[in-house]
Amino acid sequence: MASIPTATVSRLVTYLRILSQLDEAEVTRTSSEHLAGEAHVSAFQVRKDLAYFGKFGTRGAGYSVQTLRQELMRILGLTRPWNVAIVGMGRLGEALAVYPNLARYDFQLTSAFDVDPAKVGREVNGVRIRHADEIPAAVSDLKIDIALLTVPSEAAQDAANALAAAGVTGILNFAPTVIDAPPGAYVEPVDFLAGLKRLSFYIQRSKAKEATT
Amino acid sequence: MASIPTATVSRLVTYLRILSQLDEAEVTRTSSEHLAGEAHVSAFQVRKDLAYFGKFGTRGAGYSVQTLRQELMRILGLTRPWNVAIVGMGRLGEALAVYPNLARYDFQLTSAFDVDPAKVGREVNGVRIRHADEIPAAVSDLKIDIALLTVPSEAAQDAANALAAAGVTGILNFAPTVIDAPPGAYVEPVDFLAGLKRLSFYIQRSKAKEATT
């Protein structure tokens, strides 16, 4: 298999979001130009990104929205279920446990972990909170693929290492710190601040414009 | 002012993150090639993105990490404080109220809103929760620039409209739904699922590789 640039993977996720919106709006056909406009890249980039995975669409006739959406779902591994655990049941962990869109893509919450004895044994959204010491056994028994990591920053790297050692292959890191990917695992950071910084840019710019007009 | 592509703004945020990490590691100089490698774009793209805002660095000698970091902070509007409100004090709103990195960039939590009488009047991280009816007066009195929108999906558009009408110019949308930017306001979505979908791609791919070797 060819090596796929990480930026291509990010753009595939964006194309899928655009296609899902088109599908919800009952639009049946689209083009690389339309996808490019919505994703803020060139049409050439869209075609190049898709070409890593085969031939899609028909020259001059564009793409079927439903077919391309389904193909992207397959490419992204979203046509099969993934077993998800939440590690760190503070406020953010609890919020994620009831996040309505997880199950929409077959991300199935199968377990939750914390180290606080006051939390262990409680249930959140039908899932019993286990002690973090049970991670090795639970990852194996429940075949956990992906962990949402919501522990404090200072505990994040150790928790990621323990999860990877137990066999978890994907870690979505919500802790506000950079962690190294442990051997055998992929780490994707979730950064609330990136969106805030983009907002800051646009607001400052519009204020500067107001001041000069 | 020239129109700046939204993809450039996103990349500036990425370059700033990379520069901050270099600075923390006490690296003093860098290059467009290094920034490009870390950001998964071409060195030409890095230079083109920066060229919108002036001339940085010295041909052949690269950039001073601290100087370029400071310039990007200024360009992104991060050298001044922004007044932030949280709208929707469920689990996610509460989690954001204590998110440690907000204040690191001078995003100052000045207020919080909900419609639930059981929550109104309570304090979170030193901030009193007000009723959403108080949004117009509070936005004006407290000069709120940015709202973190953590209401349920079905309430998100109306809340965004009310915030923009009251004078909020930036909305970070955590509700798992697409909302239209109201007149006079910018909206940035926070999508947990984008990271999960990228993980799904990488895990599926590594499983496929294992199966064929």
Asked whether the beta carbons of residue B205 and residue A77 sit closer than 8 angstroms, the reply is yes
pLDDT given for residue B60 in this prediction: 77
- Of the candidates B41, B153, B170, which has its C-beta nearest A199's C-beta? B170
Q: How far apart are the CA of A41 and the nearest CA of chain B, in angstroms?
A: 8
Prediction ipTM score: 0.89
Give the residue from chain A lying closest to B20, CA to CA. Answer: A178
Distance from C-alpha of A83 to C-alpha of B209, rounded to nearest angstrom: 20
Indicate if the pLDDT at residue A98 is higher than 90: no
Whether residues A86 and A189 fall in one domain: yes
Q: Is residue A209 one of the residues assigned to a domain?
A: no
Asked whether the beta carbons of residue A169 and residue B205 sit closer than 8 angstroms, the reply is no
Nearby residues of B77 by Cβ (< 8 Å), 6 or more positions away: A200, A201, A203, A204, A205
Whether residues A17 and A65 fall in one domain: yes
Give the residue from chain B lying closest to A191, CA to CA. Answer: B190
pLDDT given for residue A99 in this prediction: 83
Query: Which whole-number Å values give the CA distances from A133 to A136, A155, A175, in the listed order?
Result: 7, 14, 20
Q: Is residue A200 one of the residues assigned to a domain?
A: no
- Which is nearest to B53 in space by CA: B36, B38, B72, B67? B72
Asked whether the beta carbons of residue B92 and residue A90 sit closer than 8 angstroms, the reply is no
State the DSSP code for B80: S
- Mean pLDDT for A176-202 is 90
pLDDT given for residue A2 in this prediction: 58
Asked whether the beta carbons of residue B9 and residue A40 sit closer than 8 angstroms, the reply is no
pLDDT given for residue A169 in this prediction: 96
Q: Which chain B positions have a beta carbon within 8 Å of A197's beta carbon?
A: 13, 16, 76, 78, 105
Whether residues A93 and A189 fall in one domain: yes
pLDDT along chain B (213 residues), means of 10: 80 93 94 91 92 86 94 94 96 88 85 97 95 97 96 94 97 89 93 89 87 75
Q: Is residue B87 one of the residues assigned to a domain?
A: yes
Asked whether the beta carbons of residue B176 and residue A205 sit closer than 8 angstroms, the reply is no
Distance from C-alpha of A108 to C-alpha of A110, rounded to nearest angstrom: 6
Which of B16, B197, B203, B213 to mutate: most A Cβ within 10 Å?
B197
Whether residues A20 and A92 fall in one domain: no
Q: Which chain B positions have a beta carbon within 8 Å of A178's beta carbon?
A: 21
Q: Is residue B92 one of the residues assigned to a domain?
A: yes
Whether residues B63 and B25 fall in one domain: yes
pLDDT given for residue A75 in this prediction: 95
Does B77 reach chain A within 8 Å, measured CB to CB?
yes
Asked whether the beta carbons of residue B101 and residue A176 sit closer than 8 angstroms, the reply is yes
How do B63-64 and B29-30 pair as beta strands?
antiparallel
Query: pLDDT for A67-94, tens place per residue?
Result: 999 999 999 999 999 999 999 999 999 9
Asked whether the beta carbons of residue A76 and residue B189 sit closer than 8 angstroms, the reply is no
Q: Is residue B210 one of the residues assigned to a domain?
A: no
Query: pLDDT for A29-72, tens place per residue?
Result: 999 999 998 888 889 999 999 999 998 887 778 999 999 999 99
Query: Residue B160: in which H helix or E strand, if any?
Result: helix B153-166
Local structure of B112: helix, strand or coil: strand
Whether residues B99 and B181 fall in one domain: yes
Does A1 reach chain B within 8 Å, measured CB to CB?
yes
Displacement of CA A29 from its chain's centroid (Å): 26
Whether residues B26 and B46 fall in one domain: yes
Asked whether the beta carbons of residue B196 and residue A176 sit closer than 8 angstroms, the reply is no
Q: Is residue B97 one of the residues assigned to a domain?
A: yes
Give me the amino acid identity at B17. Answer: R
Distance from C-alpha of B136 to C-alpha of B82, rounded to nearest angstrom: 18
Indicate if the pLDDT at residue A203 is higher than 90: yes
Asked whether the beta carbons of residue B80 and residue A146 sit closer than 8 angstroms, the reply is no
For chain A, the three-class secondary structure string (H helix, E strand, C coil) is CCCCCHHHHHHHHHHHHHHHHHHHCCCCEECHHHHHHHHCCCHHHHHHHHHCCCCCCECCCEEEHHHHHHHHHHHCCCCCCEEEEEECCCHHHHHHHCCCCCHHHCEEEEEEEECCCCCCCCEECCEEEEEHHHHHHHHHHHCCCEEEECCCHHHHHHHHHHHHHHCCCEEEECCCCCCCCCCCCEEEECCHHHHHHHHHHHHHHHHHHHHHC
Whether residues B90 and B138 fall in one domain: yes
Whether residues A15 and A37 fall in one domain: yes
Q: Is residue A206 one of the residues assigned to a domain?
A: no
Q: Which of B38, B58, B75 is the last residue of a domain?
A: B75
Does A90 reach chain B within 8 Å, measured CB to CB?
yes
Determine what percent of chain A is predicted with pLDDT higher than 90.
73
Whether residues A89 and A108 fall in one domain: yes
Whether residues A67 and A111 fall in one domain: no
* 8 A C-beta contact, residue B170 and residue B186: yes
State the DSSP code for B121: T
CATH number at residue B30: 1.10.10.10
Give the residue from chain A lying closest to B171, CA to CA. Answer: A199
Number of domains in chain B: 2
Residues of the domain holding B93: 82-193
Size of interface A-B (CB pairs under 8 A): 182
- Which is nearest to B111 in space by CA: B94, B141, B133, B86? B86
CATH number at residue A90: 3.40.50.720
B45, A6, B198, A190 alpha-carbon torsion, rounded to 10°: -50
Does A3 reach chain B within 8 Å, measured CB to CB?
no
Q: Which of B54, B75, B96 is the last residue of a domain?
A: B75
Query: pLDDT for A1-29, tens place per residue?
Result: 458 888 899 899 999 999 999 999 999 99
Q: Is residue A213 one of the residues assigned to a domain?
A: no
Does B146 reach chain A within 8 Å, measured CB to CB?
yes
Residues paired with B58 in a beta bridge: B62
Does B25 reach chain A within 8 Å, measured CB to CB?
no
Q: Which of A57, A75, A93 is the last residue of a domain?
A: A75
Whether residues B93 and B188 fall in one domain: yes
* 8 A C-beta contact, residue B149 and residue B88: yes
Question: CA end-to-end span of chain B, whole Å?
Answer: 55
Does A25 reach chain B within 8 Å, measured CB to CB?
no
Nearby residues of A207 by Cβ (< 8 Å), 6 or more positions away: B169
* 8 A C-beta contact, residue A145 and residue B203: yes
